[in-house]
Chain A
Amino acid sequence: NAGVTQTPKFQVLKTGQSMTLQCAQDMNHNSMYWYRQDPGMGLRLIYYSASEGTTDKGEVPNGYNVSRLNKREFSLRLESAAPSQTSVYFCASSKKTGGDNTEAFFGQGTRLTVV
């Protein structure tokens, strides 16, 4: 059981370049998320998708777009990368564990550097 798989694990971009971070989960979860993690800032939500076909902005959506391709896949796109987008990006999916409890499962992260 692979869980949440993110690609690539590492990436260096030049300012202005574009790229797409891929995420797939094989746990049949409805909800998926993209976070970025920066020193001293913790995990900040970029976008989330409550279910296939729906996406919503999180705390820091500017400069990003997302696509929930199907239930399994949720991609994050940087159209024109900026140095401020240098960060570690985590994809996650979540399931209900009983009542209103939800457990989130994370991918291994993508370390992105924009020069």
Chain B
Amino acid sequence: RKEVEQDPGPFNVPEGATVAFNCTYSNSASQSFFWYRQDCRKEPKLLMSVYSSGNEDGRFTAQLNRASQYISLLIRDSKLSDSATYLCVVNLKKGSSSGGYQKVTFGTGTKLQVIP
């Protein structure tokens, strides 16, 4: 089983629509979670962190369900400029409690195409 799994899509949605992506992770000890955005032929960039209580940033809402080990991203009022691939990222702290390092694992990404 992959450590982080996402539906690759593509999700083709009209402008103004609401779209949601889910991502599941296999390691219950995972500690922090993020959504990254990657435009075509560009590097991934941080979109938002995902907090246990859920969090919102403008039209974007991220949620975490630790019991079921999934995170979600909701995009409201989709814009053409939202067209991109959205990567789910899971961090796991490895090593000793006094030090250690973060193992960063990416999902394969979900492609979103917003249509005029």
Contact = CB atoms under 8 A, between A and B. Distances in A.
A44 to B, nearest CB: 8
Given A42-B106, A43-B106, A104-B46, A51 B87 contact: no
Contacts of A50: 95, 100-101
Given A42-B87, A42-B108, A106 B44 contact: yes
Contact of B43 (A41, A90, A96, A100): A90
Interface string A95-115: 011011111101111000000
Contacts of B93: 100
B100 to A, nearest CB: 8
Which of the listed residues B8, B49, B104 has the most CB atoms from chain A within 10 Å of its own CB? Answer: B104
Categorize the interface residue count of chain B. Answer: 20 to 34
A106 B32 contact: no
B43 A108 contact: yes
Nearest to B102: A102
B91 A51 contact: no
A31 to B, nearest CB: 6
A104 B34 CA distance: 10
Nearest to A43: B106
A75 interface: no
Nearest to A104: B104
Nearest to A102: B102
A31 B103 CA distance: 9
B106 to A, nearest CB: 4
A102 B30 CA distance: 12
A45 B2 CA distance: 13
Interface of A: 30-31, 33, 35, 40-43, 45, 48, 50-51, 90, 92, 94, 96-97, 99-104, 106-109
Given A108-B42, A109-B43, 14 more contacts: A30-B101, A33-B104, A41-B108, A42-B87, A42-B109, A43-B44, A45-B104, A50-B100, A99-B32, A100-B32, A101-B91, A103-B34, A106-B44, A106-B45
